[in-house]
Each structure stands twice: as structure tokens, then as C-alpha cells.
Amino acid sequence: MKYEYMHPRDELALTLERIYNYKMTTTSGGNLSIKDDNGDIWITPARVDKGELVPSDIVCVRRDGTIEGRHPPSSEFPFHKAIYEVRSDIRSVVHAHPMALVAFSCAHKVPETKAFPTAWNSNGKVGFAPYGVPGSDDLGTKIATEFQKGYDSVILENHGVCCGGQNLQDAFGRFESLELCAKALIKAAMIGTPQFLSEEQIQMQQKSYYKLEAFEYDTDMMTIKEKELRCELARFVRRGYRQRLLTGATGTFSARIDEHSFLITPYPLDRHTIEPEDLVMIRKNKKQIGKKPSRGLHAHRAIYEANPEVNCIVNALPVNALSFSICNKKVDTYTIPESYVFVGDVNLLPFESAFNDFDVLTKALTLKNPAAVLENNGVMVVGKDILLAFDKLEVLECSAEAIIDSQPIGGHVPMSQETIDELCEAFDL
């Protein structure tokens, strides 16, 4: 079921479950709320196990202050209310204690979201609210003051984070991409020096979307191959979310149907809930009528046109590979045989290559060199089919994580050129 059709009770319970299941809060920390059209605030309850919360646990605080529900509202209700009072455009608030943002909160720092486009586009500049006693009106005032300055995401000193949005999914998307940004920045600091997007690069990616002509689409014309690809691609996108290779708002996946057409993820999209019918068909540079394809479609089309043997493309921002991308560094695949055999040498491509320099992109990404790190934009992987592309993405992310994890224990020792030559011979690479 799509979130926009849900009652606030169901949407809050489901989103909290998602936050808890993906380890973005503890059972005692975190609370979410929605302000509805009547001005009533629906909020998660106080002292209820976040791992077991059900929709009927959600509390409604009416506009006149009357409380409805079987529990008291979250003890942090005062700051939710304070944020809604200063910002009429905010209709939902997500507060939690996810580990990387708590690290920033304890270090008294805010994450620089110009690390990659989604983090900047969804959060912009991040605010910082000084410490206040949890549940106090004083904390409410301190947080609301930051939101009043125009920040949509605020780090709470020695506490956690608070994100607002025009609806719950908007606030959750900010929260999730900010935590990804914080995690990637922490890891990036272990392997190099983080680089940030320039004004020109930000402008370039924001203007990268242009209108495509549409073609009439009739579901009766769907071939068995298209149906099969739609189901498989949707399944792998959801799996990518579960495996933390994609987030709700990051990751573009496409699969070729034939010489003239391919399927691609839509924009915007929640990768957690995608269904086969959400995918967009692109045929001869026209899009399926009534759908909006991902902004990555021009880069994907260029790769399919230049490389007939490529049948699947993924652009993703898994946290470890992302930290290499933020440092503008290649991921070394001379780590273990699996890495080199499946991924080969990884190219480092300029940020611009995914937006206007498709020549560089199409020459760099082939089945022989199926993976590239894009500066400040994650990684791009191609494959002969969906499973192979997904596998290479997983292997690349695992190599990146192993290299980062080896830093505190002395750093990784790459396999020698002799070993690589031996692998090339053994596996006919």
C-alpha cells in the first residue's frame, strides 16, 4: 500500500518499524509525528517497545489539547508542537538517535551535506540546537529556533537529530539521507580527505532533468520478457534497500528489454516499496506516458547505446563505496580474488560524467570493467543481467568496507601484480 493512502496511525507505525529494523534508533529513543489538516497531532507513544509498536498504540493530541489513545504521548511532544508552531509548512517531524548522527551530535558538529547530491537536495544546510533537558519546553524552544531560521534538519547537541517535512515520507527521506551522509563522512575521514560539491556541480545536477516526449503505453502490448524484467527489477530494488545498498531516495536501476527499449526506476521513488508497475519504460528516447523516469536515464541510455552487451545498470550510494566517492578515490579490488575476478579494475570518473560527459562514461563502463566510482555521486555498475550487476555492486561494497575496516589494524596489503596476473590466467579475465 502506498503511504499517501495510509491513515497517520498506520503510516507512523510502519515508518517507525522501518527506522527500528534498519538500526536507526533504539527501542527507547525516537519519536515521530504527523500534523493533520484539522491541526491534530498524531504521535508515537511514550514508553512503548519500538520493536513491537502497532498502529493502535499511536496517540492523537487534538488541537484543543485533548489526548486520545491508550498511552500518553511521547515525552518529546513539546518540541514536536514547538516546531509546528513556528513552521506552518512542516507537517511531520522525525526524531531519533541514529548512531552516525549521534556521533556528530556528541562531537558538536553538523554533517556537510554537499558530500553528494541527494544529501544536499533533501537537507540543504543543517542546523545545530544547543542542549536542553529531554521533554522540556526549553529544549522545544531551542529546536524550534533553529527550524525558524529555515533549517529542515537540526542536530541536537549531545542527543540526536530532528528532521521536518511536508509529510512523513518527506521528513523520513531527509532523516535517512542525512544519516547516510553522516556515516559516509565518518568513514571517508578514515581513508582520505572528503571533497564537496561546488556551486557549479550543484547547479548542473539540479538542471539535469529535461522533458522527454511520451509514447502511448498499452499494458496489453506487454511482452513476457517485459513482465519478467519488471518483476525481477522491482524485486532487486527492494532487496538492494534491505541490504542497505540503496536508500529510500538513492539508487537508480535499469534493465534492457531489447535494442530500442529499457525499464528504469521512476523519480521520485521509495525503493523500499517499489512494485513492477512503478517502473518506467523508455523506448526510442520516449517515455511511457504518465510516468516520470529517474534523472539518471540519459546516462543509462548512453551506456546501452554504446555497449550492446550491457543489459543492466545500477547507480547506487552504498555507504562504504560512497565514502570512497566522497574522497574522490578508487576502490582497490586487489584485496581478495573474488573482488578482482568479479569487479576488475575500478575507474574513477569525474562528477560531470554522469550528467553531460557520457563519452567518458560509456568508454569506462563495459563488461570487462563493469564498475566505476563517480566523484561525489556513488558508484555505477553494469552487468550482463540484473543478478550479475547486483552481485558486482555487492562485491564492490564489500571490498570498500573491508578496506575501511582494515585501517585501524594497519591498513590493507594489496595482492601483488603477479597474483593478479595469475588470477587473470586462471579465470580467463
Q: Which residues contact 52 (CB under 8 A, 6 or more apart)?
A: none
Give the residue with the Cβ less far from Zn ion, 18 or 239.
Answer: 18
Min. distance of Cβ 111 from Zn ion in angstroms? 18
Which cell numbers hold the place of 378? 556513488
Which CB sits closer to Zn ion, 59 or 269?
Answer: 59
Cell 542542549 locates to 131
Residue nearest to Zn ion (CB): 160
CB of 162 to Zn ion, least distance (A): 9
Could you tell me which stretch among 118-126, 154-162, 308-316, 411-419 binds Zn ion (CB under 5 A)?
154-162
**Rounded to the nearest whole angstrom, what is the least distance from the CB of residue 30 to Zn ion in the complex?**
6
The least distance separating Zn ion from the CB of residue 225, rounded to whole angstroms, comes to 50
The nearest distance, CB 19 to Zn ion, in angstroms, is 12
Nearer to Zn ion, 80 or 272 (CB): 80
**Site for Zn ion, residues 308 to 327, rule: CB under 5 A:** none
Closest CB to Zn ion among residues 8, 160: 160
Q: Which stretch binds Zn ion (CB under 5 A): 46-54, 159-167, 286-294, 312-320?
A: 159-167
In this complex, which beta carbon is closest to Zn ion, that of residue 3 or of residue 131? 131
Q: How far is the CB of 298 from Zn ion (least distance, A)?
A: 42
Instruction: Give the number of residues in contact with Zn ion, rule: CB under 5 A.
Output: 1
- Whichever of 28 and 198 has its CB closer to Zn ion, that residue is 28
β-pairing, 214-215 vs 31-35, is unpaired
Separation between Cα atoms, residue 415 and residue 259, nearest integer Å: 39
- Contact between 88 and 112 (Cβ < 8 Å): no
Residues in contact with Zn ion, shown as a per-residue x/- string from 14 to 43 under the rule CB under 5 A? ------------------------------
Q: Which is nearer to Zn ion, 111 or 378 (CB)?
A: 111
Q: For Zn ion, which is the closer residue by CB, 94 or 349?
A: 94
State the minimum distance, in angstroms, from the CB of residue 29 to Zn ion: 5
Build a one-symbol-per-residue string for 108-147: x at contacts with Zn ion by CB under 5 A, - elsewhere. Answer: ----------------------------------------
C-alpha cell at 43: 504521535
Of 140 and 160, the one with the shorter C-beta distance to Zn ion is 160
Residues in a beta bridge with 256: 262
Confirm if 255 and 232 have CB atoms less than 8 A apart: yes
Phi-psi region of 417 (alpha: psi -120 to 50; beta: other; left: phi over 0): alpha
Minimum separation from the CB atom of position 328 to Zn ion (A): 35
Chain centroid offset of residue 66 CA: 38
**Least distance CB 109 / Zn ion (angstroms):** 18
Judged by beta carbon, residue 111 or residue 160, the one nearer Zn ion is: 160
Q: How far is the CB of 28 from Zn ion (least distance, A)?
A: 9
Question: Which listed range, 37-45, 112-120, 156-164, 329-337, lies at the site for Zn ion (CB under 5 A)?
Answer: 156-164
**Rg, the chain, Cα only:** 23
User: Which of the ranges 155-163, 194-202, 286-294, 301-309 carries the binding residues for Zn ion, by CB under 5 A?
Assistant: 155-163
In the bound complex, what is the minimum distance in angstroms from residue 24's beta carbon to Zn ion? 13
Q: Between 178 and 393, name the residue whose CB sits nearer to Zn ion.
A: 178
Distance between start and end Cα atoms, the chain: 45
Chain residues that interact with Zn ion, rule: CB under 5 A: 160
